[in-house]
């Protein structure tokens, strides 16, 4: 049984706390959050204790920490936890500043047991897609389409602190592209726009983008993003291989169909990312248990830096309307 702490008692911290508790080999010992009420509430619900980060790091019985606090703390807490000998499960993104993130490589890269929470890699459907691609039975993967449209835009406050759509939202798709292609993109063209809400433009961000990545070996990836779909959480991937197409489709809220004079209609798409990726979050905790048991993280610090580098190049491409090299 591995004792762990969850840092951050917000929406995603609660998910990880619940999954930790439900895992047969993990016990949630501490909850850390500067907001005392939030920390206490989550601790009470889970049978854990409230503590400070210092207390957590000083407790030698704590084997790991889950960093689910605000993005600007990820690097700092990660460095401190790794320094204290803990295994780390850190939410994405690793940071919003590529330079700053790269500076942490000596400590967090290499063999450091830091697991970066790119949750989509743990979705059973995308995992199945990855396995099918890598089985080789469909021949070489040639091109890739990633559609990632949110149901509805976040608040403008969220947008302002998000680091921009590429670092906040597309970063998932950059990670999926790297993971599924099995190599790094060498250049990027990002056509961004604000179509959903003028307030997003006023906040200096975009809400819509189409992106083309090219890899050294000549493969091509298209990413489609929107902050608002109008029809639910659209998370689809098409992998065009030499012998055919592999596709991962959307999750529907039920299998019920309604046939009327206007056609056959499914039930709505799953609408909320915590529903859509509920199983992925559970699988992440299972993987963290493996890391606590000595396994290497399947996705780590360098993956976070690589995705961030693509996001920076995409932003520059969008701003200059030019094709840009990705500086790895």
Binding residues for its own copies, per CB under 8 A? Answer: 22, 124-125, 128-129, 132, 138-139, 142-143, 145, 149, 187, 189, 191, 193, 195, 208-210, 212, 214, 218-220, 222, 224, 226, 229-232, 234, 240-269, 321-323
Distance, in Å, from the CA atom of 198 to the CA atom of 113, rounded to the nearest integer, reads 42
Q: Smaller CB distance to its own copies: residue 56 or 196? A: 196
Q: Smaller CB distance to its own copies: residue 35 or 323? A: 323
| Nearest CA among 95, 67, 70, 93 for reference residue 80 | 67
CB of 289 to its own copies, least distance (A): 16
Which phi and psi angles does 324 have, rounded to 5°? -125, 145
CB of 184 to its own copies, least distance (A): 16
Question: 314 with 170: CB under 8 angstroms?
Answer: yes
Q: Smaller CB distance to its own copies: residue 138 or 298? A: 138
| Nearest CA among 39, 59, 66 for reference residue 50 | 39
CB of 194 to its own copies, least distance (A): 8
Specify the 3-state DSSP secondary structure of 96: coil
Distance, in Å, from the CA atom of 118 to the CA atom of 280, rounded to the nearest integer, reads 10
Q: Smaller CB distance to its own copies: residue 105 or 245? A: 245
Specify the 3-state DSSP secondary structure of 211: strand
Q: Smaller CB distance to its own copies: residue 102 or 214? A: 214
Give Cβ neighbours of residue 317 (< 8 Å, ≥ 6 apart).
188, 189, 190, 323, 324
CB of 318 to its own copies, least distance (A): 11
CB of 212 to its own copies, least distance (A): 5
Q: Please report how many Cα atoms fall inside a 13 Å half-sphere around the Cα of residue 43, on the Cβ side.
A: 19
Question: 222 with 145: CB under 8 angstroms?
Answer: yes
Q: Smaller CB distance to its own copies: residue 29 or 74? A: 29
State the DSSP code for 71: G
CB of 309 to its own copies, least distance (A): 19
């Amino acid at each position: 049984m591995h004792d762990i702490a969850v840092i951050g008692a917000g929406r995603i911290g609660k998910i990880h706390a619940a999954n930790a508790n439900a895992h047969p080999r993990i016990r949630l010992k501490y909850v850390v959050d500067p907001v005392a009420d939030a920390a206490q509430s989550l601790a009470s619900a889970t049978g854990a204790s409230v503590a400070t980060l210092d207390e957590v790091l000083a407790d030698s019985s704590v084997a790991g920490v889950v960093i689910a606090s605000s993005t600007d703390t990820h690097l700092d807490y990660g460095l401190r936890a790794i320094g204290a000998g803990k295994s780390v499960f850190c939410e994405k993104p690793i940071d919003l500043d590529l330079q700053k993130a790269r500076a942490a490589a000596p400590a967090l890269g290499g063999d450091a047991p830091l697991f970066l929470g790119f949750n989509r890699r743990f979705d059973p459907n995308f995992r199945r897609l990855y396995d099918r691609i890598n089985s080789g039975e469909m021949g070489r993967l040639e091109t890739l389409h990633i559609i990632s449209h949110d149901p509805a835009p976040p608040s403008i406050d969220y947008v302002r602190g998000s680091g921009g759509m590429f670092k906040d939202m597309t970063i998932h798709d950059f990670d999926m592209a790297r993971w599924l292609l099995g190599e790094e993109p060498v250049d990027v063209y990002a056509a961004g726009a604000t179509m959903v809400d003028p307030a997003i433009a006023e906040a200096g961000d975009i809400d819509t983008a189409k992106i083309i990545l090219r890899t050294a070996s000549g493969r091509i990836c298209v990413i489609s993003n929107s902050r608002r779909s109008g029809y639910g959480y659209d998370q689809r991937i098409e992998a065009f291989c030499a012998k055919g197409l592999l596709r991962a489709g959307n999750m529907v809220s039920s299998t019920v169909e309604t046939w009327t004079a206007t056609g056959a209609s499914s039930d709505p798409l799953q609408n909320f990312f915590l529903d859509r990726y509920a199983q992925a979050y559970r699988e992440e905790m299972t993987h963290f248990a493996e890391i606590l048991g000595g396994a290497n993280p399947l996705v780590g610090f360098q993956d976070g830096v690589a995705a961030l580098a693509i996001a920076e190049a995409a932003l520059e491409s969008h701003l200059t309307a030019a094709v840009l090299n990705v500086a790895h």
